[in-house]
Amino acid sequence: MCFGFLTVATPALASDKINSETCKFNGFPLYGDIQIVESFPDIKVQIVESFPDLKVEVVESFADDCGQWKFVTSFPDVKIQYVESFPDIKIKMVTSFPGLP
């Protein structure tokens, strides 16, 4: 008897694409100078209140730890676009303890 197996592709979770050792998503750092754009982002981001992929703290300087973002208008490390659906990662804005949950 021969049994055929159906292989179902499951969508990749953002946590699967985030490198927890380097705090990068598909090679883009999840810290540093961040620019908000309307098109052609490096990462599409959705803000959530629960079950985030990353906790983000907005800082004024030295955004060099995982989850610390400094918003800039030029020369960013990463360009993000806020979306309501189909994000690359989900973030929660925090005032302390940024990083991977």
Q: What is the pLDDT of residues 21-76, one digit of tens each?
A: 999 999 999 999 999 999 999 999 999 999 999 999 999 999 999 999 999 999 99
Residue 88, in any domain of the structure:
yes
64: left (phi over 0), alpha (psi -120 to 50) or beta: alpha
Residue 101, in any domain of the structure:
no
Distance CA 92, CA 101 (A): 10
Residue 59, in any domain of the structure:
yes
Residue 48, in any domain of the structure:
yes
Residue span of the structural domain in which 49 resides: 29-93
Nearest to 94 by CA among 63, 59, 65, 62: 59
Residue 15, in any domain of the structure:
no
Give me the pLDDT at residue 2, please. Answer: 55
Residue 20, in any domain of the structure:
no
Give me the pLDDT at residue 17, please. Answer: 83
Domains of the chain: total: 1
Residue 33, in any domain of the structure:
yes
Residue 9, in any domain of the structure:
no
